[in-house]
Every structure is written in C-alpha cells, then in structure tokens.
Amino acid sequence: MAEDKDWEFPASLQPGADDVGFDLDQALASVVGLRAEIPEDAFTAGILGTERAGNGVVIGENGVVLTIGYLITEAQSVWLSTIKGTVVPGHPLAYDQTTGFGLVQALGRLGLPAIRRGTADACAQGQRVILAGHGGRRHALKARILAKKEFAGYWEYVLDEAIFTAPAHPHWGGAALLDHEGRLAGIGSLLVQERVADKDVQGNMVVPIDLLEPILDDLLRFGRVNQPPKPWLGMYTAEIQGHLVVAGLAQGGPAHKAGIEIGDVVLEVAGEPLGHLADLYRKVWKRGPAGVEVVMTVGRDGARQPVRVRTVDRSEFLKKPKLH
C-alpha cells in the first residue's frame, strides 16, 4: 500500500519498547494492510467508494483477519499486505452489520502471529493505549481512552458501549486498539469529534473486541450471525437541534418506497415517542425481525402523519462475495 511509504507519526507520538511491558514489534506485526475493490454497481459504491483501504488484524493461525466491515462490504477482490512486504489475496468471509466487524480469510501464507485478544474492560477512561495501523511503529499512535459510551450511527447502527480514543489516527479503519498488555481490545471504526473540558477534540471511535466472541463461530461457519436479521428502514437520520430529521434515503429502500421524504421529522414508532437516535433504532428493532411492518409518525410541513414501512434484511441489497 503506497501510503505506508509516504508518512509516519513523529517519534514522540510513536510507542517505544520502553513504553510497554510486552513485545511491541510482535504485536504490531499482526496488523496488516487491507485494500478492497468494489464493483461500480454495488449498493455501497456511491457512499463508501469502489476502492477502499485500511487495516486488519490477524486473529487466527489459519490466516483469519479481523477488520471493520465497511472496508470489505460487497468487495469483489481483497488484498492483504504484511509488514514483511508480502501481499496475498483474501476472501471476505463475513460482515456483521450489528457490530460492524468484518472477517477476511487470507488465501496465501501471511507468516504472521495471531494477536492475543483481550477485553474492553481492561481499557478504562484516561488509560494509555496504542492505536496501530499497518506499518509497525511508524504507524502506531500512543493514545488515551477519552470515554466509553453509547454510539449511534445514521446508517441504523448502535453500540451500547463504544470506545473513544485521542489523538486521532489518520488511518483508523480496521486499526488495532492494543491494551497495556499488548492484547487486542478493539477495532478502529470512525473519526469523531468529542467534547472534552469545553474543547472539541478529534479522536477515533473503536468497536470493542468483546462483541466478537459471541458471534465468531457463526461468522466463520455461516458468514453471518445465525439468527433472524434486524429490520432495516434504509433511512439515514440525523439528530438536529433535538429533532430526528431524515437526512437521506436509500434509493428503492423501504422508507423510500413508503413515502418518507428527506426533511421529515421522525416523531414516533408504533405510537411511542422518541428521544435520541439510538432510541429510534431500538424501538424499530423490537417490533420484530426483518420483514416486519413498522408504523412511524413523521412531521412534515407542520402536520403529523403516519407512515407504514415494510422493513427488509439489509443484506438483500448487497452483492455477495465470490470465492476465488
């Protein structure tokens, strides 16, 4: 990956062997570069692009790599790069929409150790951690835990407790969050801005590794969690001045078909008033699995009106990976 040669963190921001009590270089060697190519007609191509690059972490001796799922969603080809310069193809094994995790199977020998997995419980607020991208110490950043709290994303995504770190890593996607013992505590997902001591601080949102353990066997066996999928609206909602406003719609998605319009204010789900964004999604999900009809009340032009949305399984809109 070209960016590996073009930049590095200042030495003062890089972790050193004296900063940790574990084999730093071995832990960092488990982080690989990941590049994916997505067809132009893929559902996510317009939002996430057709060429995606980030990181992954080797979690299995058989070449299983954990990453953040949006990097490999609908990918037709995946390439993995090691710190030794080896480049091998990969197969996208799974993408779990609930956690955001993705799995890739290396189709060649990586020759890298599998990282030890820890727990997000070992990462307390204020604690020092390392957020590491592919490229060894040059792309590893000394950071601190800013917060551990709920996160809701406009793409119908909720984490009960996400990890927020700072300073921000510029290549956060799929980066490894390492705890004080060098164990994998989470996977980098987003660039975010947090309010700390009346100042806006740029950092990263990290998905806790604890969410992987209950679903890993299913992802390896079936490519998805073996349970009914959550209902999907295809409605991109933002919190604006205390209101839940429809900011975008998936073309041909359930909300679009039901007549929801950009600018609508979502007021109720099944007659229940809404608070924040996570509240909207949780009230939709509790109606039943994908396919359930959800009645929402929206505000439009100063009037309230009910809208019936027949939900679907989001994966029905996505291209399926083909085995090489």
List where CATH 2.40.10.10 sits in the chain: 3-114, 120-211
- pLDDT at 321 (0 to 100): 76
DSSP 3-state of 136: helix
Q: How far apart are CA 124 and CA 143, in angstroms?
A: 12
Nearest 10 degrees: Cα torsion 132, 138, 143, 149: -30
End-to-end CA separation in angstroms for the chain? 21
Dig out the tokens for 118 from the structure. Answer: 């820890």
| Residue 157 burial (CB count, 10 A) | 16
List where CATH 2.30.42.10 sits in the chain: 235-317
- pLDDT at 2 (0 to 100): 39
Ordered per-residue pLDDT tens for the chain, 324 residues: 334 457 999 999 999 999 899 999 999 999 999 999 999 999 999 999 999 999 999 999 899 999 999 999 999 999 999 999 999 999 999 999 999 999 999 999 999 999 999 999 989 999 999 999 999 999 999 999 999 999 999 999 999 999 999 999 999 999 999 999 999 999 999 999 887 778 888 999 999 999 999 999 999 999 999 999 999 999 999 999 999 999 999 999 999 999 999 999 999 999 999 999 999 999 999 999 999 999 999 999 999 999 999 999 999 999 987 765
Q: How far apart are CA 80 and CA 104, in angstroms?
A: 9
Looking at the structure, give the CATH architecture of the domain made up of residues 120-211.
Beta Barrel (2.40)
Dig out the tokens for 108 from the structure. Answer: 């060649």
Looking at the structure, give the CATH architecture of the domain made up of residues 3-114.
Beta Barrel (2.40)
Q: How far apart are CA 214 and CA 303, in angstroms?
A: 45
Is the Cβ–Cβ distance between 294 and 311 less than 8 Å? yes
Just give the CATH number of 235-317. 2.30.42.10
Half-sphere exposure of 32 (CA within 13 A, CB side): 34
Burial class (CB in 10 A: 0-12, 13-18, 19+), 27: buried
Q: How far apart are CA 17 and CA 162, in angstroms?
A: 28
